[in-house]
Amino acid sequence: MSELSQWGLFLLIGAGTFAIRLSFIEFYGSLRIPPLLRRALLYVPASVLAALVMPAVVYPDRHAAFDWSNPQIPAAILAALVAWRTRSTLLTLVVGMGTLWALKYAYG
């Protein structure tokens, strides 16, 4: 993607994000979220984040072939446990990267 089209993409996302943030503050009283959408929005973060995480862990090189010896899988599982117990971003990153490096070193 060229530099120019990249800027176009970023402008579009920036404008859209600003519109989402401004929405109800600008149109207070005349804008309402339908109840089903309000409930659906509750599940957006969990669903989107998981959809970003899982393929990136399972397919490190974007090759759609499952590989049990992929060290990212145990590293991600350990990191997930740490995130669950501690809720700390930093610890999650440290344990995840530490496990990955240790496994890569062990596999040679």
Partner 1 sequence: MNYRSGTHAFMHGAHTASPLTTGVIPFGLIAGVTAAGMGMSPTTTMGMTLLFYSGSAQIAVLQMLQNGALPLTIVLTALVINLRFLMYSASLAPHLHHLPRRRTWPLSYLLADQVFALFSLRTVTGGLGRFAFPYYMGAAVTMWVGWNLAVLAGVFLGARIPEAWSLNFTIPLSFLALLIPGLRNAATLSAAVAGGSLAVLAIDLPYNLGMLAASLGGVIAGLVVEHLRKDLPAAQGSEAEQEAS
Please identify which residue in 2, 34, 43, 106 interacts with partner 1, judged by CB under 8 A.
Answer: 43
> Least CB distance from residue 48 to partner 1, whole Å?
5
User: At closest approach, how far in Å is the CB of 68 from partner 1?
Assistant: 14
Q: How far apart are CA 82 and CA 37, in angstroms?
A: 32
Is 18 a binding residue for partner 1 by CB under 8 A? The answer is yes
**What sign has the CA pseudo-torsion 96, 102, 106, 108?**
positive
Alpha helices (runs of H) in 1-108, residue ranges in sequence order: 3-26, 35-58, 72-86, 89-107
Question: Among residue numbers 81 through 100, which ones bind partner 1 (CB under 8 A)?
Answer: 83-84, 87-90, 92-93, 96-97, 100
